[in-house]
Amino acid sequence: MTPGAARAAVFLDRDGCLNEDWLNPATGAWESPLSPGDLILRPGVVDGLLRLQGAGLPLVLVSNQPSFAKGKCSLADLAAVHARLLALLGPEGVRFLECCYCHHHPDAVMPGYGGACPCRKPAPGFLLRSAERYALALAGSWMIGDRDTDIACGKRAGTRTIQIANPRAGHQAGQATPDHRAPDFAAAVAIICGGV
């Protein structure tokens, strides 16, 4: 890389990628955790994130979190879950260049949070904004996620894509054509960083 050239980054989905989905007892469905205590990291995530960092790749979190828009929780709940993520990862040495949350939903019940937005995956808005803001080279970057919408988002932004297996993703996975598939986070990181 020449001095001043744009650098590659790794864009990361959150739920089902960095942390486990949460079983909502009210719906019986796997959803985003809405309480800090329900956020549990998936195996290998801390070591994997540190390895990516060690390879000089900035980390950008890109997550759809529409539960407030749907009337299922407060914005404070969403902030508390995010704080829990940072509390688990920060002391380990993980630093995000940026954490991007879309709080919109097309069928929102909360005024001001509905309709189409440029930031809800599969829309690539956050990736494009981060690339502009931090001089990131999207073509050399990666998007890692568990759902087909994560892969579509990465493709629209022009990144390479890795889909992580998540049995709880259900019908939200299986139709995409990622550049790579990985059984877990460590395997995804190995694809990016190479070898053992």
Phi, psi of 64 (to 5 degrees): -85, 125
Q: Which residue has the tokens 């995409």?
A: 176
Burial environment of residue 3 by CB neighbours within 10 A (0 to 12, 13 to 18, 19 or more) = exposed
Burial environment of residue 72 by CB neighbours within 10 A (0 to 12, 13 to 18, 19 or more) = middle
Pairing relation of β-strands 22-24 and 29-31?
antiparallel
Task: State the nearest-atom distance from the C-beta of 95 to Mg ion, in Å.
Answer: 21
179: annotated active-site residue = no
Say whether residue 49 binds Zn ion (CB under 5 A).
no
Stretch that binds Mg ion, among 69-77, 79-87, 98-106, 145-153 (CB under 5 A): 145-153
User: CA 136, CA 138: separation in Å to the nearest integer?
Assistant: 6
Kindly identify the residues of this chain, within the stretch 81-120, that bind Zn ion according to CB under 5 A. 102, 104, 117, 119-120
184: annotated active-site residue = no
Among 11, 12, 15, 151, binds Mg ion (CB under 5 A): 15
Determine the straight-line distance between the first and last CA of the chain, rounded to whole angstroms: 24
Amino acid at 43: P
Q: Residue 119 touches which of Zn ion, Mg ion, none (CB < 5 to 8 A by kind)?
A: Zn ion
Stretch that binds Mg ion, among 54-62, 101-109, 147-155, 174-182 (CB under 5 A): 147-155
Q: Residue 16 touches which of Mg ion, Zn ion, none (CB < 5 to 8 A by kind)?
A: Mg ion
Contact set with Mg ion (CB under 5 A): 13, 15-16, 146-147
Q: Which residues are catalytic?
A: 13, 15
